[in-house]
A = this chain, B = another copy of it.
Amino acid sequence: MEHARPLPTHLARRYLGWKATSFAENESWYRHLAQQGQHPRAMMISCCDSRVHTAALFNAEAGEFFTHRNIANLIPPYEPDGGKHGTSAAIEFAVTSLKVAHLIVTGHSACGGARGCLDMCTGHAPELEAPHSFLGRWLDILRPGYERIKDIPDETAKLRAIERQTVIVSLDNLMTFPFIEAAVKDGRLTLHGLWIDIGSGRLEQFESARNGFVPI
């Protein structure tokens, strides 16, 4: 590997600051985590978006959330075709090996992935429809969500709706995995859907009874 470069100086300095402060204060806890392994209570699935920090949102500490982050917090359907499915591998490990009790999918406002899917499905993003577009093929997962909201006339309302569909489609797809379905049915695993509005900090959760999101 000849292309790796040294870390930018400001990041190296910030790391040294972390080492001298936060790490030093929690040295015993990090040593414990290294020796005793991780026992996270929940798996968190959220977007790659740089503005979404679920650990901060819940003042979580190292060891608490097993976290998978991908574009638009999407879970693909169960496809046991022998392919390299990173998301499916992550939930398989969390549920069957770590035996987490909670699986939390967190969507967010102003999601570039949700907007990309909306643009693609309405013919405004031909580059995403190209077969070789990794992003386009990934956002195909969200198409069933688009179908449900496509008749909303107002553009802003439609965008907000598809942002929330990222969570609903993922929860639906989670239940197509046999090991998830079994764990949910016998009470070992609970699913949760959240959506955070970045600008206002309002957190909403999906309520099955209302088939919609309500603020916490």
Contact = CB atoms under 8 A, between A and B. Distances in A.
Copies of this chain per assembly: 4
Interface in A49-89: 49-53, 55-71, 74, 76, 79-80, 82-89
Interface in A126-182: 131-135, 137-141, 168, 171-172, 175
Given A41-B32, A199-B31, A205-B7, A18 B56 contact: yes
B90 A30 contact: no
A76 B83 CA distance: 11
Contacts of A39: 36, 39
Contact of A135 (B21, B32, B92, B201): B92
Given A1-B206, A49-B38, A102 B28 contact: yes
A100 interface: yes
Interface residues of A, number: 128
Interface string A17-28: 111111111111
B64 A14 contact: no
Mostly, the A contact residues are mixed
A65 to B, nearest CB: 6
B51 A53 contact: no
Given A29-B101, A71-B90, 16 more contacts: A4-B171, A5-B191, A13-B18, A14-B17, A16-B216, A17-B21, A18-B201, A27-B190, A29-B102, A33-B198, A36-B39, A38-B50, A40-B50, A48-B67, A79-B84, A83-B83
28 contacts: A2-B208, A3-B175, A3-B191, A4-B206, A6-B207, A7-B216, A8-B61, A8-B102, A10-B60, A14-B60, A16-B21, A27-B190, A28-B101, A28-B189, A34-B51, A34-B197, A35-B99, A36-B39, A37-B110, A39-B39, A40-B50, A41-B61, A48-B68, A48-B90, A82-B132, A83-B83, A84-B138, A89-B139
Interface of A: 1-41, 43, 48-53, 55-71, 74, 76, 79-80, 82-94, 97, 99-102, 104, 109-110, 112-113, 131-135, 137-141, 168, 171-172, 175, 183-184, 187-194, 197-201, 203, 205-208, 211, 216
